[in-house]
Structure 1
Amino acid sequence: MRVRALGRAPYEATVARMRAFTETRGADTPDELWLCEHDPVFTLGQAGDAAHVLDAAGVPVVPTNRGGQVTYHGPGQVVAYPLVDLRRLGIYVKEYVFRLEQAVIKTLEAHGVTGQRVAGAPGIYINLADPFGHAALPGPPDPRDPWRGIGKIAALGIKVSRHCTYHGVALNVAMDLAPYGRINPCGYPGLATVDLASLGVSVASDQVADALAQRLQSYLGG
């Protein structure tokens, strides 16, 4: 897997490049992993409901062809885009998503943070009351406030075309989290969004990017 560090990369241009790479790749094209950071942007998934953008406040809102609802990208967030041939790797989409999430969980684990999954809601979450412990996420959920006590630290949205993936995962390191308060993150009203900095973990984004890349390479074929 070739790793490409793109630095600060425009969102729409990066998606166009990923799509072109995927549409023109052949059976022998090496897989790639693109790492970057984006300027502030809200992105809407393929079936995204614009009503989940409560107040864009001048931040661009960009429709895109990944799965999922609305999320935010901005400085201080590590974005990883694996461009992987699933057929060659010998796995299906469900396993691919599991491996992406596992790479994030292991990256967080290196900083003492316990990342967890929520069934039916791709991404990685933490127990706000015990982010460094091993307590399960709060539950059963209260219908009036189903996300009470839960914070999201990594968002996941993918696209698969001809068995090949693009888009990927975004891990919050040290961001301005205020824009998340102007959306229903991933379509979930009341879901808190956190980053490593808000949990008290001080680490450089490039260090997290390197660690996440190593995990993704390990789980996606080296």
Structure 2
Amino acid sequence: MTKIQFKELGVVDYSKTYDAMMQLIESQPDFHSIWLLEHFPVFTIGISEKEITEDTLKTPPYIKTDRGGKTTFHAPGQLVIYFILNMKKLPFPPTELTKKILETASLVLASYDLKHNISARDPGIFINNQKVASIGMRIKKNYSYHGLSINLKTDLDMFNSIKPCGLDVETCNLIDYININVDTFKKELLNNFRQMLTR
């Protein structure tokens, strides 16, 4: 069975975290790694974005990334989960990774009796047509990186100042619909992601 490393990093800088992911991939670890964190306010620009350009001097900064999709916003109050996974050691086809992550997060939300749906057109999870979770992944040297973000209690005004992920959709916070203990919610997510990787 492949070892799974879990890290909880607190509130961290986006660029430094990206560099740390790249360093881990270059080391070619024989284990899976899942990081839970929040980012200081930052707009990240995906490879499909054509209208917004990088500007690291703005506040918050706009940073070009190599993940799929368009532009999105990260800030404290949004839980980000990065998956640095060895593609050769997954218990399912690598092409199903994004689907499996969303389905696993959905199981946790369902345990709170929360009505929601998974969207394939705009990959993520929606509550009442409002997006509460987004996903963007990439694979390099047989490892996945980037991951899933879930709005717990974050600044939606900044989020809605752009078209999240390139579409005219509204966003929402999870706490607007259910009461959660954040630490308990994190543990539930990690337990389910562990099961996802060990089945």
TM-score, normalising length: structure 1: 0.80
Partner of 2:24: 21
Between 1 and 2, higher relative CO (CA 8 Å, sep ≥ 6) is seen in 1
Q: Does 1:156 align with 2:135?
A: yes
Give, as a single letter, the amino acid of the residue that structure 1 aligns with 2:138: K
Alpha carbons 2:46, 2:71 under 8 Å: kept: yes
For the residues of structure 2 that align with 1:107 and 1:215, how far apart are their CA atoms?
A: 8
Alpha carbons 1:76, 1:173 under 8 Å: kept: yes
Alpha carbons 2:45, 2:52 under 8 Å: kept: no
Alpha carbons 1:154, 1:169 under 8 Å: kept: yes
Alpha carbons 2:91, 2:197 under 8 Å: kept: no
Q: CA RMSD in A?
A: 2.1
Query: Match for 2:151 among 156, 159, 172?
Result: 172
Distance 1:36 1:48, change over 3 A: same
Give, as a single letter, the amino acid of the residue that structure 1 aligns with 2:171: T
Partner of 1:216: 193
Alpha carbons 2:48, 2:69 under 8 Å: kept: yes
For the residues of structure 2 that align with 1:221 and 1:68, how far apart are their CA atoms?
A: 29
CA offset at residue 70 of structure 1? 1.0
Distance 1:79 1:219, change over 3 A: same
Partner of 1:134: none
For the residues of structure 1 that align with 2:149 and 2:120, how far apart are their CA atoms?
A: 19
Query: Match for 2:5 among 2, 6, 11?
Result: 2
CA deviation map 1:153-196 (0-9, x unaligned): 1010111012210110001111121111211000002x010111
Partner of 2:103: 102
Identify unmatched segments of 5+ residues in structure 2: none
**Which range moved further: 73-82 or 117-126?**
117-126
TM-score, normalising length: structure 2: 0.89
Alpha carbons 1:105, 1:114 under 8 Å: kept: no
CA deviation map 1:63-104 (0-9, x unaligned): 111111111111111111111112221533431111110121
For the residues of structure 2 that align with 1:51 and 1:61, how far apart are their CA atoms?
A: 9
For the residues of structure 2 that align with 1:38 and 1:207, how far apart are their CA atoms?
A: 20
Q: Does 1:12 align with 2:15?
A: yes
For the residues of structure 2 that align with 1:109 and 1:121, how far apart are their CA atoms?
A: 20
CA offset at residue 52 of structure 1? 9.3
Identity of aligned residues (%): 27
For the residues of structure 2 that align with 1:208 and 1:77, how far apart are their CA atoms?
A: 13
For the residues of structure 2 that align with 1:109 and 1:66, how far apart are their CA atoms?
A: 28
Alpha carbons 1:52, 1:187 under 8 Å: kept: no
Give, as a single letter, the amino acid of the residue that structure 1 aligns with 2:70: Q
Query: Match for 1:195 among 158, 170, 173?
Result: 173
For the residues of structure 1 that align with 2:198 and 2:69, how far apart are their CA atoms?
A: 26
Alpha carbons 1:104, 1:171 under 8 Å: kept: no
For the residues of structure 1 that align with 2:183 and 2:156, how far apart are their CA atoms?
A: 19
Identify unmatched segments of 5+ residues in structure 1: 129-149
Alpha carbons 1:45, 1:63 under 8 Å: kept: yes
Give, as a single letter, the amino acid of the residue that structure 2 aligns with 1:214: N
